[in-house]
Every structure is written in structure tokens, then in C-alpha cells.
Amino acid sequence: MKASREWLEEYSDIDVKTTKLGDILTMAGQKVEEIIQKGTDIKNVVLGKILKIEKHPNADKLVVTEVDVGTEKLQIVTGANNIKLGDIVPIAKDGAELPGGVKIKTGKLRGIDSCGMMCSVGELGLDIADYPGQIEHGIMILDKSLENKLGENIVDILNLKEEIIDFEITPNRPDCLSIEGLGRETAVALGKKFKNPRENLDKLEVETKEELEGLKVDIEAPDLCYRYVARVVKNVKIQESPEWLKRRLKACGVRSINNIVDITNYVMLELGQPMHAFDINSIEGKHITVRRAKSEEKITTLDDVERTLDENDLVISDDKKAVAIAGVMGGQNSEIEETTKTVVFESAVFYGGAVRKTAKKVGLRTESSSRFEKGLSAENALRAANRAVELVVMLNAGEEVEGKIDNYPTKQKINKIKLEPEKINNLLGTKISKEQMIEILQNLGLEIENDIITVPYYRMDLEQMADIAEEVLRFYGYDKLEITLIKADTTIGIRNKEQKIEQKIRQILKISGLSEIYTYGFINEKELDKSNILEELKKEAICIQNPLSDDYKYMRPSTIPSMLNVLSFNLNQKNPEAKLFDISRSYKNIENKIEKGEVPEEEKILTIGIYSEDFDFYVLKGLVENILEEVSINRYDIQKEQTNKSYHPGRCANMKVGIDTIATFGEVHPEVLENYDIEKRIYLAEINITKLTKYSRANKKYEEIAKFPAVERDLAVIVAEEIEAGQIEKAIVKKAKKVLEEVKVFDIYRSEKLGVGKKSIAYALKFRDKNKTLNDEEIDEIMKNIIDELQKSFGAELRK
Amino acid sequence: MKEQIEKIQNLAIEKLSQTQNLKELGDLKVKILGKKGELTILLRGMGSLPKEERPVIGELVNKVRDILEEEFTKKEKELKRKELDERLKTENIDVTEPSKKTKLGSIHPISQIIEEVEDIFLGMGYEIADGPEIEKTFYNFDQLNTPADHPARDVQDTFYINDDIVLRSQTSPVQARVMESKKPPIKIICPGTVYRSDAVDSTHSPVFHQVEGLVVDKNISMTDLKGTLEMFAKKCLGENTKIRFRPHHFPFTEPSAEADVSCFVCGGKGCKVCKKEGWIELLGCGMVHPNVLRNCNIDPEVYSGFAFGFGVERIAMAKFGIEDMRLLYENDVRFLKQF
């Protein structure tokens, strides 16, 4: 909301500079975004009159002019082609400054002296939309009536000195979307008297009538329209508004149209109540009905666009058609025209929620709708209607028709709140006296009698003690709040198990050389296909109703595509290697939870993604194993995984605890790599942190360091290629029983000598008995059992 | 015999002086003093001497043995020193040659900031709470005093899954869930991912991170809020950081405030980061709205509380000097490795 200082001064004396006023109001809750004063960047630009225009001897596109700038006559060369003899134009003289730091100096243009420059609207830093009739690529041509002001500063002529304050108004304060509301805040914040220039409106008595100039009003939807006030003016002369009114509108960023439309806008800015003006003759049957729209009902709004409505929208209608979308925009069919003689001013209050929905649906957020949607006071509506009529009379734009139509089915509730100074001080941590509280509240227009506060009609946001506390604090001063610390029982702050695990993972992966990434949870349809995600998983992807773009249409059911995108990006950046991890979530709509209104499944996943020369499956496996070790999961199974289509079927494994898969890792399927145009091998791991937490056993126990010596034996066997090292190891463990302390593969060997499809695996075995020294005979027997078993189960051949 | 002894002694000393290494020294020692050494053999041959000469010669032999032992020890020490010197000389390395190591990876700046914030609040006795990102409108809005027709539902431009489910536009629904399930005292922070329908540019992202905090107990006041936030700001942004409250409006707090901190880049003098204002808008906060407490079955007549929330990216960008938010989500390793 923009407000000029000049307009605010009508409500309160202001004895501080505008920047200071801005600071004070910001600290009182009306945040100043910007103070605009267009003229500050313009120096030494004056009004001039063109006396001569002659051809430039050396250039076809330039002309040489003589300009009268009051005190002297200047020769100026210009390329403009919209100037005529006698035009009044802005002249930047030698030494002038223009917005954007442009400096003008006397110089030669193609050999001819030029002692200044004629300015366009844009060169003066002004908006072409604010100056109708001017052209963008041409000199600004001013009114001939200014001829007696040659040489005067353009800043004064165009009234650019005006200081305009742009406020950010919070949605709870629709009353401050008006100069009156801001004026009241200004007065209280500065400790001045609120001048209340519109006090007359509160006292004005206007008789309520059934009919005005034959016009009748019915409200069919009192749940959506709380009040409808209509006033009528006749013998209207549609013309331009006076300068002062146009200037005030412009300061607030509103364009002048004609006196009647300007009055509706002026009242909206002044009092915060949106208004609408109809030509009474465009109202069929002179009967206005406020009703719900019919399904598929159409109306062409003032901006020339046809809008389609339905039963959720409210319209202002005559006997045949809708003439306005209530609270949003008027219809073309009832627009004020130059021939309009009798005008109906509508000042109504609609249910904000419905206006908001309609405005959103038809895609029209107007000055009017953005006020209504915050909830307006029905009491204020009558003031606004009366003010409009007052202005018509004042501007000599027409005659007042006595009386008003006032349909007021839903009375505004006036809130009463108990004043509880002690509770307020406890909540704020302050020691503000009751007297000071009362003074602040009364200045804001609240009435207090016997500790009961009656809230004025324009402050519908005040409902309970906390609201009153905020009002007190705003004008007592947020900056006066002291600094204290909570006085309460001690609480313990500690990370829970999952949070600790996450922290450990970050550390261990960082030390292992991986960098953490952050990815969006969004995904597009194509990516689900590209990464070969399981069909059933695809079906669980959650669709966003209003995505930013098709690329962000789904919530990912798998983190793989996000990781592949990042790896692919790094490859495109020609980064020689990338070792990355991401701790993030996957989202799955299982059991149609979303359709049932329940939140879907979210799993926390650690995703590892790597391309690097010094990396292979087994390095990845080591990384995954280290993570499990770090979180104290010691019992797990590693099994080959061949059904997951995102991974290479021969180079992928699942890590299981019992039957629960807690991790899947391996090389990415060549087909997926091709889909992503990746030519390197990519290693991926997905580790479910939620499950990791479930199986993590935090309590470690000390085991006594062995007193008796260990016996070490090596065992090398030749087996068929399909036999997995893990299978053999399991068999060894099973046969060796308790005295086997450790078994490790230390060599895997393939050669022509061994034969095609064969490999030799060598294990180092370490035996130890906690209670005695093992002798050779015992070990020999165990070794024999193991060898027998390996021969029997795997056809293993002992390698000598 | 005496001459023989002296001869052995002289010869030994001469040879000793020529010995070059410990092995030669050992051999020489065995040859002279060993079980079958020259001196030992000589001593054994003493039986053939007349009785009266024996003690004299015996004494002489022992004396020579002592002398030689000492000489050998001296020589041994000398040779050991020499060998060590030589070894140290040959083992000299260039310490400026490159190291052998696994290059460290890195933790994302967003995680680093979140962890830092968590540690500060854990130290003040807060727990860390978490909740779903795909959330019921009930928790994201209704419970937080933002009913169906509230304009804030529009202002925030939320991503909707359907009428009842949204991508949470704030981490506050976690607060509502905690208040619903736990009796006061409540002291939590909720870090997490949030979603708003903003197009990607250098200062906006549809996905970003927030940390919110909530305290509900008896006698919690707005000055406690200010004190807590100042303590946090000092620990997170520097001991000289000051905090300033400005009035604001949020549906879920009353009174509400926006908190600025003195610019931690320039110290309040005015710079690019604070847009020459000396202050940086850091967070929104306020006293928990009595309607919110009531919605969560907490009696506002008995309990009060405060809540605050801020964006992690903004702090990360200001602290690390990152000017374009897109870098945080692009994940270029050349960017990541710097943290």
C-alpha cells in the first residue's frame, strides 16, 4: 500500500523527516518497504519552449533547435522527431543530472554545438503508464498552459518531490490498506493527535429507503454478502478529476479514468472500502440481486475478458444478467460511460474466503479482491458510500439523491475483551503500567470501561488478550523488550538414535572421500522410466496438483534418478570424478493412503553415487560394510540381486538382516547409463536409514583379550566359477565351530592351468580356544572336516 | 708367557683400530675373548706354569681382558654411532613430496549449518523433532490458526497433492504434532525440508530448509524469546551479534515479530550482504497463538510458549559467501569440495 506523506499529514502532524517516519512506523508494525521520491535524481532540468527547428547540416536524422529556457536561449541538437515549434519540453541543461547517474554536458553533435538535451519520460526516470498521451521513444511534450513557467525546475512542474511511502501491510490489518488506517497508526506512533478528518461520516444520518430512483436491492446469499449499501447521484457530468485528486491517486499507484471512477478508487484508498459505480440505466429492471452465479454463467469483466463462473461465485446481478463479480471486478455491461447521467455507488461487504476463491479461480487479483479477502468491516461500508456522494457534490460532478438503500442481513460482531494488565506483562515479560496500556489502547480508538475493552469496528483482528498485548507492545516499543532466559526445569537435549546415526554416516563418508549433495524430491515422469524403476514403485509416485513445471510433477518414490542426474551433471561439467552421497527421503503412496487423507510413506535413504577410476564394486561394498560396522550391525547377509533393473544383474547385491533388506548396492545397469548418456561405470548404493536405525545395537561389550595363542592355517581350494566365496566361507564357519576365530579370503586366482571356469580361493583361518592352547591334532581334525565338507558340497579340490 | 699376553693385547688393539663394522668387531671379539679365543686358550694353558707365577700371570691376563673388554665396548659404541649416522643419512627424505591419503570428502553447507544450529539448541536443552514432508493441511494450516478461508493459504503458494494433503510449506506442522502428543514442558527444534511454489532463481528455490523452534511451559515470556534468540545469534553468528525485534504478523503467533541481527559480515557497518543496512532479516517469531495452544489441547490460561523459524539457505549463503542459491542444489563437485 502506497501513501503520500502529504495525504498522511491530513490525519496527523508529522514533525520528522520521511525516512525517520518510515523507521518509526516500521518499528510500530507497519513495515516500510521503500520511500519513493522520484525527483531526487533529477538536477538542473527545466521547462523550455521550442523556438526554432532547422535541419542539421551534417546529419539527416538530426535537427538543430533553439529553445527558450526563461533566462536564456539555448541551441540544442536532437534526433527526436515528435517535436514541433512552440512545444513545451523538459530541457536538461549543461551540468544536468538524470536518474541512473547520467550527466549532461555541452558538446558538439556532428560538428554543431549542443548546449543540453530534451528529455523523454523514460529519461526522467518516470513510468510511461503514468503519463497518458506521451510516447516512449520521443520527447515528453507538456501542456501549453505551462508556457509562463519557462525555466522552472521540472521536478516542481511535475510534482516529483512528493514523498511516497510504500508499506507492507500484513494480512491481519485490512484497515491499514487505507490512508485513514495508516494515518491513525502514524498519529499514535508519533504521539500526535489523530485529526480524524472524516469524523463527519460517523455522525451523518441518511434515511434508509426501499427504493432510490426506482432502484431496489435484494441479497439472496446473506452468508456471502453481509451488507449492501447503495447510494445514487444524478445529473452526473462525467469529466476529468481535479489535479489534487489525480495526484493523490497517482501517488498510490492508481490511474485516473474519470471523476466517478476516480471517486470510487479515492474512497477505497482513503477508507479501505472497495466501491463500485454502475450506470443505473444498465441495470435491467432497476433491480439488483446479490446471488450465487449459475453454473457456467458468463460475464465479460471491465478488462475485456470473458469469465466463466459457477455456484461458488457471487455476482451482482440485474433481472437478466450478472453485472459484476462481487468484490472482484465489474462487468463491461454496466460500465460508467461518458453519457452516464445517474450513477449507483455500491458499497458492499462480502465474505472474504469466497472472494479469495473466486479471484483465484478467474485469475483476477484486484485492489478490491485483495482487500475483501482479508475480511472487511460492514460498519465501514456505509461511511464509504456517504463519502462517495460527498465527493461528487464537492467536485460538482452531480447531485445527491436523498436517502440510501441499506441491506444489512449479517451484523458485524463487535468484540469485547477483558483488560488484564498482569497477564499482558507476564506474556511480554514487561512491567508496563495499566495507565500506559490504557493510553495506548485509547489512542488506537479502543474504548475501555470497567476494564472491558470495546474494539472499534475497524479492528476486527483484535479478539483476545494476546492481541491486546501486541497492540500495547507495538507502541510501548518492541525494542524496549529486555533480554531474559527461560526460568524453568532443566530439560535434556540429546540426539536420538537415528539422528546420531545420520551424523555418524556423514562423518564416515566424508572421511572416505565422499561429498554430500542436496537434491530436490521432485521428479518427472521420464526419469522414472529412464532409471528403470520397478513398475510397482512407479505407481506409488505421488503427483503434485499444481507443480511448478512438468519436471517437478512427482515426488520421487526412489532416490536413484536424483543421484543419476547429479552424476550426469558432473560428467557434463567434465569433472574427472564424483564421489557423492545424499541423505534424503523417498515418498510412496502405498495402500492409497493419500486418497484416504493420510500422509504417505516417507523413508530416509542414504544414496551413494560414484564414478571414479579408483573405484569398483568391492570398494563400494567396503564402504557399505564400514557404515554397518559403525552403527554396530554385525550380523548381516550379502546376497546377489538380479531382479532390480536399475542395477547390473551380475554386479548387484542386497544386504539383509534376517529377511529385511537394508541396503542394495552395485553397478548401474548399462541400459540405464545409456538412457542418461553416461559412458562411465557408475556405482550406486541405497541404504535405508530407518531400517539401519532399527537394527543398530548401541550397547557394545568388552570381550576379554585372549590369553592362549592362536593357531593359523591356510586353505586354498579350487572350485567352479559359480561357487561364491561367501558360500564357502559359511561352510567353513559351520564346520569349524567355536574355535574358529577368524576366516579371511587372502587370494583369488584364475589361470589356464586351473582350467576354464575354475578359480582358486585361498583362506586364512585363525583358531583359538579361550581356555587352553590348541594342539595340532585338534586343528588337523577340524581342517579335515572342513575339507571334506567343501569337497562334498562344492566339489572343491584342495590346492597344494 | 708374559710376552705372549702382551703380544695378544697389542695385536688385538691394533686390529681393533682397523675394524670397520660391527660384524668384524664381533668376529674379533670371539677370536680373542671368546670361549675358544686366544686369551682364553692362553688362560687355560696356565696349568703348565710354575705355581708361584700363576697368580701373577692370572692377574695380568685378567687385567688385559678388562682392558680389551673396555676397548671392545668403546669400539662397539663408536661403530654403532657410525652405522646409525650412515643409516640416517641414507634414510633422508623430502618432506615436501606429496602425501599419500584418502582425500577427504565434504559435508554440504546446508547440513553444516543445521548441525551447528542443532548443537547450540541441544546445549540449551532442546530436543530435535521431525515429521512428514508430505503433510495434512490439518497440521500445515488448520492447527496453526490458518483455517480454510485464511488468506495465508494463498500467500504461501503451497504445493497441493489434493485438498487434504500438501507439501509442507513450513516445519511448523511438526510443532503442532509434538504439542498434540506431548505435555509441556516442550522444548524442541525442527529442522527440515519445506516446499513453496517459487520458481528457481538466484535467491529462490521451491525446496528449501528451515529450522523452527518451540518452547511451551509455564511463565514463558516474550523477553525469554528475545534472550534465547540473542544467545543463539551470538553462538551461531559471533559474540558481538545484536538482535532487533520488529512487529510482524503470523497466524500462529501473537504477538509476532521479525528479528533482525546485526550484519555478521560487516559487523553492522553496512555491506553488500546486508544491503548497506547493517541489519539482516533473520527470522520470524512470536508467542504461540492461544488458538494454536487450544487446538493442541494445551490450556493457554496455564501455559504460554514461544516459537521461531528461519531459513537455513540464507544463513549458509551469507556465512559462506555464496551469492547464487542454485549452487546449493546443483551439486558440482568443484563447489562441494570447498566445504
Say if residue A567 is in the same domain as residue A650: yes
CATH number for the domain spanning A682: value is 3.30.930.10
Say if residue A95 is in the same domain as residue A218: no
Of A26, A427, A496, the CB nearest to B221: A427
Looking at domain B109-336, its CATH superfamily turns out to be Bira Bifunctional Protein; Domain 2 (3.30.930.10)
Q: Mind telling me how many Å the CA of B305 is from chain A's nearest CA?
A: 9
Say if residue A149 is in the same domain as residue A220: no
B positions 210-269 inside 8 Å of A (CB): 215, 217-224, 226-228, 230-231, 244-249, 251, 254-257
* Side-chain half-sphere exposure of A710, counting CA atoms within 13 A: 13
Say if residue A469 is in the same domain as residue A338: no
Alpha carbon separation from A210 to A217, A233, A406, A411, B62 (Å, rounded): 8, 16, 8, 19, 147
- Full pLDDT tens readout for chain B, 339 residues: 778 888 888 888 888 888 888 888 888 888 888 888 888 887 777 778 888 888 888 888 888 888 888 988 999 999 999 999 999 999 999 999 999 888 999 999 999 999 999 999 999 999 999 999 999 999 999 999 988 877 667 645 889 998 899 999 999 999 999 999 999 999 999 999 999 988 899 889 999 999 999 999 999 999 999 999 999 999 998 899 999 999 999 999 999 999 999 988 888 888 887 888 888 888 999 999 999 999 999 999 999 999 999 999 999 998 898 989 999 999 999 999 999
End-to-end CA distance of chain A: 92
Regions of chain A with pLDDT less than 50: none
Cis peptide before B185 (omega within 30 of 0): yes
Say if residue A562 is in the same domain as residue A432: no
Q: Does B334 touch chain A (CB under 8 A)?
A: yes
CATH number for the domain spanning A461: value is 3.30.56.10
Say if residue A48 is in the same domain as residue A141: yes
The residue among A671, A695, A719 that closes a domain is: A695
Nearest CA to A340 among A416, A402, A268, A263? A263
Nearest CA to A409 among A226, A677, A635? A226
Question: Which residues in chain A have their CB less than 8 angstroms from residue B102's CB?
Answer: 511-513
Of A171, A511, A569, the CB nearest to B330: A569
Residues B35, A610: Cα–Cα separation, whole Å: 69
* Side-chain half-sphere exposure of A434, counting CA atoms within 13 A: 11
What is the per-residue pLDDT for A704?
85
Domain that holds residue A524: 497-695
Question: Which residues in chain A have their CB less than 8 angstroms from residue B331's CB?
Answer: 517-519, 566, 569-570, 580
Q: Does A427 touch chain B (CB under 8 A)?
A: yes
Nearest CA to A343 among A433, A276, A430? A276
Backbone dihedral angles phi then psi of residue A783, each to the nearest 5 degrees: -60, -40
Q: Please give the tally of structural domains in chain A.
A: 6
Locate A553 and state its grid cell: 510433477
Angle at CA A112, nearest 5°, toward A111 and A115?
130
What is the per-residue pLDDT for A475?
96
Beta bridge partners of residue A346, listed in sequence order: A230, A276
What is the per-residue pLDDT for A601?
93
Say if residue A361 is in the same domain as residue A241: yes
Question: Which residues in chain B have their CB less than 8 angstroms from residue A599's CB?
Answer: 132, 134-136, 165
The residue among A347, A373, A407 that closes a domain is: A407
Q: Given an 8 Å threshold on Cβ–Cβ distance, is A542 in contact with B222? A: no
Query: Dihedral of the CA atoms A534, A536, A537, A539 (nearest 10)?
Result: 130
ipTM of the complex: 0.87
Q: Does A576 touch chain B (CB under 8 A)?
A: no
A positions 474-533 inside 8 Å of B (CB): 474, 478-479, 481-496, 499, 503, 506, 509-522
CATH number for the domain spanning A257: value is 3.50.40.10
Q: Is residue A700 part of a domain?
A: no
What is the per-residue pLDDT for A145?
86
Say if residue A754 is in the same domain as residue A784: yes
Say if residue A582 is in the same domain as residue A684: yes
Q: Does B185 touch chain A (CB under 8 A)?
A: yes
Say if residue A226 is in the same domain as residue A358: yes
Of A514, A545, A547, the CB nearest to B162: A545
Question: Which residues in chain B have their CB less than 8 angstroms from residue A175's CB?
Answer: none
> How many Cβ contacts (< 8 angstroms) between chains A and B?
251
Residues B197, B205: Cα–Cα separation, whole Å: 8
pTM of the full structure: 0.84
Q: Does A618 touch chain B (CB under 8 A)?
A: no
Residues A603, A154: Cα–Cα separation, whole Å: 66
Q: Is residue A485 part of a domain?
A: no
Alpha carbon separation from A411 to A276, A291, A405, A460, A540 (Å, rounded): 21, 19, 16, 13, 50
Backbone dihedral angles phi then psi of residue B11, each to the nearest 5 degrees: -60, -45
B positions 8-67 inside 8 Å of A (CB): none
Say if residue A189 is in the same domain as residue A213: no
Q: Does A102 touch chain B (CB under 8 A)?
A: no
Say if residue A256 is in the same domain as residue A169: no
Beta bridge partners of residue A406, listed in sequence order: A229
Between β-strands A740-749 and A758-767, what pairing exists: parallel, antiparallel or unpaired? Answer: antiparallel
Three-state secondary structure of A700-726: CCCCCCCCCCCEEEEEEEEEECCCCHH
A positions 337-366 inside 8 Å of B (CB): 351-354, 356-357, 360
Q: Is residue A702 part of a domain?
A: no
Three-state secondary structure of A144-177: HHHHHHCCCEHHHHCCCCCCEEEEECCCCCHHHC
Q: Note whether B257 and B247 are within 8 A (CB).
A: yes
